[in-house]
Structure 1
Amino acid sequence: MSRSTLLYYDKINLLKPSGRSQANYRLYSASDLEAMEKISMYRSAGLSLENISEILNSEQTDASNVLENRLLELHREMASLREQQRNLISLLGKDSSLRTTHSMDKDQWVKILRATGMNDEAMHKWHIEFERQLPEMHKDFLESLGCDEEEVKRIRAWSRSARV
């Protein structure tokens, strides 16, 4: 961490040094270093300094709740970014070289599955297993293909109602 970061963390009471030298330099202990590592880890996960302070300085705050809330926030952000991506692709039109570079829609995905020999029954089994093993990831995947909320609900219900 940079000196300015440490000074700022001290100022906001996120990380106080354990002591001071005779020359008034901040001294950090091994437990302070552990706290620095936790702060860095939480920052890399996108947590706000307020949330990090809450986790580190409150005996009542459950880190898993804060982390789960951040994960839900990321899911919402990703869904919004996927929607923006679809809108940009639509605005660019068919002539853009970037139209299909970084995204795949449902039709392209189905075409690839069919080209590998999957029929309707095999695709249904694929959805059933995906929903059974990784339900939230299945939902995210369907959204990433451009399926709207109603279609995602319908596919997931269809996947849960059947057995392999």
Structure 2
Amino acid sequence: MALTEEIIYSFPTFALKVDLDATNIYHAEFMPPAIDAVSQSISRSPLATEVIRQLDEYCDNPKFKFDLPFSYNGTLHQLKVWQIMQQIEAGSTLTYGEVAKQLLSAPRAVGGACGANPLPVFIPCHRIIAANSKLGGFNSGNIFFNLGIKKWLLNHEGIQI
């Protein structure tokens, strides 16, 4: 995997760093807010331009569904969880237990797959919540910062938690 480009895209309360090459997105991670992060990059590949366009579209239309080329690895269980996540429509959620039941798995294993998601926002792990309709966990790293991001994404998509 030869990464050729990095985008830092600013949302209202956080930034998303996206790693890509000419053909695929490999990784995305949350960062503290960045001011005009995207405009700092002068030359962009066609894929980077499309990533920015689709992120702009998602910000304008929370029901927007990403259609981008991804390349990622995971265990068989993680891949199955990520596939289910991609089928959850914006404005909808599933619980860790509901996903676990579909896979004959355990809610904690689903939570582990959510935490290992290499492409948050694009693979919408934020749409998986706890059985008590609470946020549950979200991504790895600073739990308070990341739960704030999960709440923002869900609110953006019309879900009040």
TM-score, normalising length: structure 2: 0.30
> Whose strand proportion is higher, 1 or 2?
2
